[in-house]
Amino acid sequence: MRSIVSVIKKGVTLKEQVYDYLKEQIILGELKPGERLVEGKVSEALNISRSPIREAIRMLEKDGLLLVNQSGGVNVVKPSIKDFQYLYECRVEMEPVAAYFAAQRRTNEQLETIRTHLLQMEGLPEQKRMKKIHDINVNFHESVVKASANPFLITVINQFRGINSFYRKSILEEKPLHFADAFNEHQRIFQAIVDQDANDAKKLMKEHIENDFIIFMRLSNHGVEGER
């Protein structure tokens, strides 16, 4: 672990900075699923006291990224297929609603942001830079959610965005998903938002997430009930 002392941000509590740092370490796989998190080692590595680390651990436990057992030990959560399915059940209901309101409320500036992420995805070859492709995909979805202008939806969906990335990476590692299909689906969602067709944006986002889940389950060697 690298020290965060040199990048301390003004106006952001140390607890929040440790939280962001540890969350990034978990999502990027620097802290592996099931790995034990030792407060003393984190304190020594980051050159900070244990108090903000303990607070950050409690926050990450609420996020579902860390597990604090009865003995007081802390481990990175080891996701299961069932965990990912529960997360999918949230996404498939909430993100289409965000797309619905994005089509109604988006600004011209937000349209340009969504378009930028779409074009970035188009310019990347599927077989290269999988992390970059993943990041751009996340940015596209986040920009659609932000365009909904609903602060409650934005907060809740963004809360499980990182968990979704962690679960996917933990179960599938670096296997590529449906890049070409996903890009085409993103294009159609974007066009519905441009046209302010809220019902179509909602329907297309729902189909996109359903397709993603079906392919994810196939790649993880699990079937999907009612698969089309």
Same domain for 134 and 66: no
Q: Report the residue count for the chain.
A: 228
Task: Indicate if 46 and 123 belong to the same structural domain.
Answer: no
Q: Count of domains in the chain?
A: 2
- Could you count the other beta carbons within 10 Å of the beta carbon of residue 31? 22
Q: Are residues 60 and 102 in the same domain?
A: no
The answer to the question of residue 228 being in a domain is no
pLDDT of residue 223: 55
Among 18, 41, 76, the domain-final residue is 76
State the CATH number of the domain containing residue 37.
1.10.10.10
Closest CA to 161 of 32, 36, 24: 24
Q: List Cβ neighbours of 166 (8 Å cut-off, separation of 6 or more).
A: 26, 27, 65, 79
Task: Say if residue 30 is in the same domain as residue 85.
Answer: no
- 214 in a domain, yes or no? yes
Regarding whether 65 and 104 lie in a shared domain, the answer is no
Residues 212, 153, single domain; the answer is: yes
Looking at the fold, whether 67 and 89 belong to one and the same domain comes out as: no
Our CA angle for 163, 167, 169, nearest 5°, is 115
Domain boundary among 54, 76, 98: 76
19-28, long-range: CB < 8 A, 24+ apart: 19/55, 19/56, 19/59, 19/60, 21/46, 22/56, 22/57, 22/60, 23/60, 23/63, 23/65, 23/162, 25/1, 26/60, 26/65, 26/66, 26/76, 26/166, 27/162, 27/165, 27/166, 27/169
Q: Which of 42, 76, 110 is the last residue of a domain?
A: 76
pLDDT of residue 177: 55
Answer yes or no: do 104 and 205 share one domain.
Answer: yes
What domain range includes position 55?
6-76
pLDDT tens, N- to C-terminus, the chain (228 residues): 444 444 456 567 889 999 989 998 898 788 999 999 999 999 998 889 999 999 999 999 988 899 998 888 999 998 888 988 999 999 999 999 999 999 999 999 999 999 999 988 876 655 555 667 777 888 999 999 999 999 999 999 988 888 888 887 777 665 555 677 888 999 999 999 999 999 999 999 999 999 989 988 887 776 555 443
Tell me, yes or no, whether 225 lies in a domain: no
117 domain residue, yes or no: yes
In a domain, 148, yes or no: yes
Q: What is the CATH number of the domain that holds 181?
A: 1.20.120.530
18 and 99 assigned to the same domain? no
For residues 92 and 143, membership in a common domain is answered with yes
Are both 71 and 106 inside the same structural domain? no
- Is residue 163 one of the residues assigned to a domain? yes
Residues 19 and 124 in one domain: no
